[in-house]
Structure 1
Amino acid sequence: MKGTQMTTELLVDRPAFTVRRAFVSSMNNAVYLVTARRSGEQVLIDAADDAEAISDLVEEGAQDAADGARLAYVVTTHAHWDHTRATAEIAAQTGAHVAIGREDAAQLKAERGIEADMLLDDGDLVHVDGVTLDVIGLRGHTAGSVALALDAEEPALLFTGDSLFPGGVGNTGDDPERFAQLFGDVTTRLFDRFADDTIVFPGHGEPTTLGAERPALPEWRARGW
């Protein structure tokens, strides 16, 4: 929604890359921008809303590169409407490739008219010159939800969309099978793989760490959400 006050922040500042964030819309959607310092290539995670504000974020990220910047990818963590509203406009403005989980691509096309350039599966890589993000499938919130991991330097960073938040996993519509699938993926593909100092950047709100959330896993399983 244009006109919403946007707050931006430099979240991570490392020799190879930076991570910046903006909050957009009344739903407090987090938009993340990864900029490779050497090449200036950028990856935007969830063009949720307010293309003007996102364009400003991309321009801010350009100052982190040695010699100009270019938005290479818009990665959509899942196809829910509040995470996709500015995707078409940003892609058209920048020429960036749109990437989304394979099972969510049809919804993105139906709702936004976007034919994804890259269909993501668990284990895939999103690579720009200087930065590689690992794609992690986290089924349950939607069938094609994905997280992205930046783990070349410690602590690792996880961009989890609406699949993992401080205090629990994402909404699975009171469906026990969907919850079991999401809880299982989050447990085996995130908590079993990454260290406690791994930083989790969710699709709404503030970050957490796997270590802060790990003790609550039995409680999450028991309550079913």
Structure 2
Amino acid sequence: MTGRGHVEPGGQPLVEQLSPELTMIKMSVGPMDNNAYVLQPRTGAPVLIDAANDADRLVAAAGDPPPGTIVTTHRHHDHWQALADLTARWSPQLYAGSPDLEAIQQGAGVRDVTGVWDADEIPIGDERLEILGLVGHTPGSIVIIYRGDVTHLFTGDGLFPGGVGKTGSAADFTSLIEDVEHKIFNVFEDDTVIHPGHGDDTTVGRERPHLDEWRSRGW
């Protein structure tokens, strides 16, 4: 059974109007079923969230004008496999969470990435995307926030349907689940949509009741 915002690996992109000002294109790319998101404003250049893989498919989905910005949600290699290729093609502005910045630049072979963290903003058309940091899956994972008709959170691998992202230690898990609780569940309304780095979408209202369960199981 497929859920909200389902896309198939190698399949057709999903197109969704997030507001009168912004259209989202979601597609699954690469062998790890990564989600890549193109946010197309009514005027101005799009923003790509995670140049994860399949550069040619991303180019085709993004259309013209091409994205003027690429945001990488965190340092793990499956989220930046197409970053160098698309940077060479488009010459976009590059952004990533400040604590993951050096690892992304070295791993992906790109330069001049701008570090962002809590309360920073990235322009898109006539609007802004907001940034918050989640520490635990990696030191510098970020969430990209768009406030449209409802609020949309692009959470990378920090938060999924059914739990937080994978962590390497008890301390990392504690950090991540506390950030998710205090920065997401204690802040955003139930209808806020969560767009994760892999898999289907969900909402804050659907996931919030399970926080204590996740904490008890430790993942």
Q: Same fold (TM over 0.5)?
A: yes
Asked if 1:197 corresponds to 2:191, the answer is: yes
Q: Deviations over 1:8-56 (max 9, x none)?
A: 010234211111111111211000011110x232110000001001101
Whole-angstrom CA distance in 1 between matches of 2:47 and 2:39: 5
Asked if 1:20 corresponds to 2:14, the answer is: no
Asked if 1:160 corresponds to 2:138, the answer is: no
CA contact (8 A) 2:59 2:66 kept: no
CA contact (8 A) 1:31 1:47 kept: yes
Q: Deviations over 1:126-185 (max 9, x none)?
A: 11222311101011000000000111x331000000000000000002x11101110011
**Equivalent runs, 1:1-225 vs 2, <5 Å:** 5-37=10-42, 39-59=43-63, 62=64, 69-151=65-147, 153-173=148-168, 175-225=169-219
Whole-angstrom CA distance in 2 between matches of 1:47 and 1:93: 12
Question: Normalised by the size of structure 1, how large is the TM-score?
Answer: 0.90
Matched to 1:50, the amino acid is D
Could you say what secondary structure the match of 2:215 adopts? Answer: helix
Whole-angstrom CA distance in 1 between matches of 2:10 and 2:48: 20
Greater relative contact order: 1 or 2 (C-alpha under 8 angstroms, separation 6 or more)? 2
> Superposition RMSD on alpha carbons, in Å?
1.2
Q: What is the CA distance between 1:105 and its match in structure 2?
A: 1.1
Unaligned runs of 5+ in 1: 63-68
CA contact (8 A) 1:162 1:202 kept: yes
Aligned length: 211
Could you say what secondary structure the match of 2:20 adopts? Answer: coil
Could you say what secondary structure the match of 2:13 adopts? Answer: strand
Q: Deviations over 1:161-217 (max 9, x none)?
A: 0000000000002x1110111001111111111100000000001100000001100
Matched to 2:172, the amino acid is R
Unaligned runs of 5+ in 2: 1-8
Percent of pairs identical after alignment? Answer: 37
Mark the CA change 1:91 to 1:11 in structure 2 (over 3 Å): closer, same or farther.
same
Q: What is the CA distance between 1:96 and its match in structure 2?
A: 0.7
Whole-angstrom CA distance in 2 between matches of 1:107 and 1:6: 30
